[in-house]
Structures are given as structure tokens and as C-alpha cells.
Amino acid sequence: MKTKSMAALEELGRVRLSQSFFMRDFLYSEIANFYGIPNIPEDPELAIEVGTRLCAELLEPLNATFGRIAIRSAYRSPTVNATGNEKGHNCSSNEKNYAGHIWDHLDAEGGRGATACVVVPWFADRYVANKDWRPLAYWIHDHLPYSRLQFFPKLAAFNINWHERPKRSIYGFADPKGFLLRGDQPDGRFKDQYGDFPELRLR
């Protein structure tokens, strides 16, 4: 059911998705703010369902292992995402973002998913020195049930996607650009790529 009142929106924001995260953490959007477009889920129940999986299975382990993570961009309503795409603000089309940044729509295959763009400050400090995003990508591949990762040059920010049918692909928009893995590599085999990283911690 759509959120039709201020009180309902406040209640939606109070929904706790996991130990550390509430729905409100994922609704901020610079595009929505700049263009004055509400960034409110059309299907709150589905947004909560997939957001809970994203937080519990991917974001909480990152938070517990590396310290506080920062949310750069997460849920986008179809209208906000379409505006970002039309205005050239690095948003894919709605069709490509269903079960991605658009949490409350199924993708073309009927799958559920959710994406957040995050920064791990612990790793961002390291990235300043060597500009290599791959160690964190390999660590996530070895430890977490992600579907897709996309790494960006600024702040070593990356999109991390939970999906009910994981694709296990990693792509870099930062150098070295292109696919790092495409679902055909075994888990737990890349320790030499991130050697001194902390061990996975779960709350």
C-alpha cells in the first residue's frame, strides 16, 4: 500500500531493517532534493522485504567488520530514477534499475533485489594511497552473498546489490575498468589479494 500521509512516511522511516539500519537511512536522494521530487516507495512492503535482506546479509557484515559504513545512495523511486537518467546524473534506465536502486519493483525476470551505494571509510583511506579498488572487491566476493558490485573512482564508493538469484559479477568504473569477475570464480580463493584485511565479523 502506498504511503499517503506524513504520519505514514514517518512510520516507514522508523522501520528497522537490521540492527544498525532503519528505512530512513536509505531514502535520502540528492536528485530528489534538487528537483523537488518525493523519494517514497510505491510498494513499501516489498521495499522493506528486500531492504532487510540487503542490510542483514551485506551491509551489517561490512559495518561489523570495517566500522561504520556511509550510505551514498540507495532507494530511488521510479520517478526519481527516471529523472536522474533523463538529466544525465549517472542513473541507468528504470528497466535496468528494477530490483536494483528501485527496490520496490521486480526486474524483467520477476526477481527481487535491492542496491545501495556505500563507502567504507576504512578502505577509502587505503584507496587514497594506491587507487586500487580490487582488494575490497575480492574480500567481499570471498565473504558475502552479494549479487553485483560496481566500483567508482570517488571515495572508492561502490554499488552493492542483494538479489534473490545472485549474479556474482564485479565491475569497475574506476581503473582498471571492466569486469573483474563474472560469476565463474569460486568463493574463498582470493586471500592473497587482500591479505591483511580483518576477518569477517558478524554481530
Residue 50 lies in a domain: yes
Write the CB contacts of 20 (distance below 8 Å, at least 6 apart in sequence). Answer: 55, 59, 60, 63, 203
What is the spatial distance between Cα 34 and Cα 39, in angstroms, rounded to a whole number?
12
Residue 200 lies in a domain: no
- Residue 152 class from Cβ within 10 Å (0-12 exposed, 13-18 middle, 19+ buried)? middle
Residue 1 lies in a domain: no
**pLDDT at residue 123, rounded to an integer:** 98
Question: Cβ–Cβ contacts within 10 Å for residue 89, how many?
Answer: 14
Q: What share of the chain is helix, strand, coil (3-state, %, to 5)?
A: 40, 15, 45
**pLDDT at residue 74, rounded to an integer:** 98
Give me 83's grid cell. Answer: 529523472
**pLDDT at residue 2, rounded to an integer:** 74
pTM for the structure as a whole:
0.94
Give me 10's grid cell. Answer: 514517518
Residue 199 lies in a domain: no
- Return the SS3 of 67: coil
Residue 183 lies in a domain: yes
What is the spatial distance between Cα 131 and Cα 125, in angstroms, rounded to a whole number?
10
Instruction: Answer whether 178's CB lies under 8 Å from 171's CB.
Output: yes
Residue 71 lies in a domain: yes
**pLDDT at residue 181, rounded to an integer:** 95
What is the spatial distance between Cα 158 and Cα 116, in angstroms, rounded to a whole number?
8
Q: Is 178 left (phi over 0), alpha (psi -120 to 50) or beta?
A: left
Q: Name the residue range of residue 24's domain.
A: 6-193
What is the spatial distance between Cα 25 and Cα 152, in angstroms, rounded to a whole number?
21
Q: 181 has which bridge partners?
A: 170
Per-residue pLDDT of the chain (203 residues; tens, 9 = 90+): 677 789 999 999 999 999 999 999 999 999 999 999 999 999 999 999 999 999 999 999 999 999 999 999 999 999 999 999 999 999 999 999 999 999 999 999 999 999 999 999 999 999 999 999 999 999 999 999 999 999 999 999 999 999 999 999 999 999 999 999 998 677 678 999 999 999 999 87
**pLDDT at residue 1, rounded to an integer:** 61
Residue 202 lies in a domain: no
Residue 87 carries which side chain, given as an amino acid letter?
K
Residue 201 lies in a domain: no
Count of the separate structural domains present in the chain: 1
